[in-house]
């Protein structure tokens, strides 16, 4: 009888064997993927070379040509020069309303903020006392005038009598003196009556000028005094306004030197127009004119005051409003202007520009800049008419590089040496290629 030994299965050993087989299969699959990718890369590279044609059907790219830059050609022009100054608006006429006699306010006869005309009654003071004074002065005048004729008659009679020695000289002198005194009493009474009439008229407080009246400082029943320090109200004429701006004395001297040298010329009438920028950044519709330049320099600020007049029919400009004024200084003929984007600064602060010079090569220029005129710089040295200043493309060139200059703002063409794009296939050609 054969006795066979029976071996029991080991589950742990079988599981490890299966894991090893799975790892081997995954590694073989990864190697196969890498091999296939390498074959695809090699095939693509061979298709790109071949007969010297690219996969897109275009020819080989040619050598890169000169960089293309946009240039501005310098052309002399006539330009107006203006200076921006800050200032404030003030009323064309201002009048404070004050009483000229004292008393109690009986009426307020205006609407605050309304337009009033010169001579309109604004306030009325109780006139009772002044009316009584006027009547008394009138009575005194009547009494004085009544005493005048007898004094005159007596003086005339005594003058004849003294000639015939019927009366003494002393009596005649007294009669003549009494007559003159009567005349003086009449004149004094008339003056007092006139004074009483004026004071009575002053009980009606009238507008001294035409304009817009502000708020009232008193109401009915208030006690006011003659020529008091506090104004009852204020009237301002606003159909025209002043704009007062300050200019440094150094700027004033520079402007005068430019005019003396002939670089800056004024208009024939010698005036200067002024434009305004309001607080919200908008430009005022009307243009003003410069009327006055102060003759004294403020020792604290070193500036002078320039005063201009503006029409203000819509009353957009109000007294005290802050504005920025552009004062036209004059005109410059044959000015060299270059856009600000064409100018850079060196480490020393010198203004420079790149110019396309002889042989279409880039040349650096050192500029002398006088001031800004709008979005351009006014150049007094460093550029001449006909120079081509680079406005765009500066980052692609350096001094000495050859460039292709095109006018600033013109559409840029394709780079030099680039081939035209291949025409698209027709639909039927694409279909035929797909069936082959």
Q: What is the rounded average pLDDT of the residues 340-348?
A: 87
What does the pLDDT read at residue 53? 45
Q: How far apart are CA 151 and CA 154, in angstroms?
A: 5
Position 289 pLDDT exceeds 60: yes
Is residue 251 situated within a structural domain?
Answer: yes
Tell me which H or E stretch contains 38. Answer: helix 11-49
147-177 in b/e form (b: 16+ CB < 10 A) is: bbeebbebbeebeeebeeeebeeeebeebbe
pLDDT tens sequence across 259-287? 666 555 555 555 578 889 999 889 998 98
Q: What residue numbers bound the domain in which 383 lies?
A: 69-79+335-407
What does the pLDDT read at residue 341? 86
Is residue 55 situated within a structural domain?
Answer: no
Q: What is the CATH number of the domain that holds 346?
A: 2.40.420.20
Average pLDDT, the chain: 80
Q: How far apart are CA 202 and CA 124, in angstroms?
A: 9
Is the domain of 326 the same as that of 361?
Answer: no
What does the pLDDT read at residue 209? 95
pLDDT tens sequence across 203-249? 999 999 999 999 999 999 999 999 999 999 999 999 999 999 888 88
50-71 in b/e form (b: 16+ CB < 10 A) is: eeeeeeeeeeeeeeeebbbbbb
Is the domain of 324 the same as that of 350?
Answer: no
Is the domain of 273 the same as that of 259?
Answer: yes
CB 303 within 8 A of CB 345: no
CB 329 within 8 A of CB 272: yes
Domain end call among 331, 351, 374: 331
pTM value?
0.59
From the number of C-beta atoms within 10 Å of its C-beta (0-12, 13-18, 19+), residue 404 rates as: middle
Q: What is the CATH number of the domain that holds 263?
A: 2.40.30.170
Is the domain of 305 the same as that of 342?
Answer: no
Q: Worst-scoring range by mean pLDDT, 44-58, 100-114, 267-281?
A: 44-58
Position 290 pLDDT exceeds 70: yes
Q: What is the CATH number of the domain that holds 150?
A: 1.10.287
Number of domains in the chain: 3
Position 73 pLDDT exceeds 80: yes
Q: Worst-scoring range by mean pLDDT, 17-21, 94-98, 123-127, 344-348?
A: 17-21
Higher pLDDT, 142 or 346: 142
15 Rama sector, left if φ>0, alpha if ψ -120 to 50, beta otherwise: alpha
Is the domain of 284 the same as that of 339?
Answer: no
Domain end call among 139, 172, 202: 202
Domain end call among 174, 202, 230: 202
């Amino acid at each position: 009888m054969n006795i066979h030994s029976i071996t029991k299965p080991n589950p742990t050993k079988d599981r490890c064997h299966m894991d090893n087989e799975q790892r081997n299969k995954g590694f073989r699959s990864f190697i196969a993927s890498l091999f296939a990718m390498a074959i695809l890369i090699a095939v693509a590279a061979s298709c790109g070379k071949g007969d010297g044609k690219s996969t897109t059907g275009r020819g080989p790219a040619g050598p890169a040509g000169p960089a293309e830059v946009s240039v501005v050609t310098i052309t002399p022009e006539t330009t107006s020069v203006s200076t921006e100054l800050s200032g404030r608006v003030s009323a064309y006429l201002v009048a404070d309303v004050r009483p000229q006699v004292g008393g109690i306010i009986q009426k307020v006869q205006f609407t605050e903020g309304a337009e009033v005309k010169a001579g309109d009654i604004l306030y009325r003071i109780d006139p009772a006392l002044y009316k009584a004074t006027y009547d008394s002065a009138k009575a005194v005048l009547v009494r004085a005038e009544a005493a005048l004729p007898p004094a005159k008659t007596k003086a005339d009679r005594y003058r004849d009598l003294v000639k015939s020695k019927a009366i003494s000289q002393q009596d005649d002198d007294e009669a003549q003196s009494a007559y003159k005194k009567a005349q003086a009493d009449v004149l004094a009474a008339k003056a007092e009556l006139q004074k009483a009439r004026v004071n009575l008229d002053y009980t009606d407080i009238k507008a001294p000028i035409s304009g817009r009246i502000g708020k009232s400082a008193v109401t009915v029943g208030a006690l006011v005094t003659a020529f008091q320090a506090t104004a009852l109200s204020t009237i301002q004429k606003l159909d025209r306004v002043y704009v007062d701006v300050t200019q440094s004395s150094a700027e004033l001297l520079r402007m005068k030197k430019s005019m003396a040298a002939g670089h800056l010329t004024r208009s024939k009438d010698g005036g200067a127009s002024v434009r305004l920028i309001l607080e919200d950044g908008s430009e005022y519709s009307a243009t003003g004119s410069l009327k006055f330049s102060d003759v004294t320099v403020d020792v604290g600020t070193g500036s002078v005051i320039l005063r201009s007049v503006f029409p203000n029919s819509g009353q957009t400009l109000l007294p005290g409003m802050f504005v920025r004024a552009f004062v036209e200084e004059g005109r410059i003929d044959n000015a060299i202007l270059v856009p600000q984007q064409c100018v850079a600064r060196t480490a020393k602060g010198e203004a420079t520009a790149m110019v396309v010079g002889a042989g279409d090569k880039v040349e650096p220029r050192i500029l002398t800049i006088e001031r800004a005129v709008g979005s351009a710089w006014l150049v007094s040295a460093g550029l001449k008419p006909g120079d081509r200043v680079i406005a765009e493309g500066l980052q692609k060139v350096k001094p000495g590089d050859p460039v292709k200059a095109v006018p600033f703002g013109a559409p840029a063409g394709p780079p030099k040496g680039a081939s035209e794009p291949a025409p698209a296939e027709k639909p039927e050609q694409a279909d035929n290629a797909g069936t082959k």
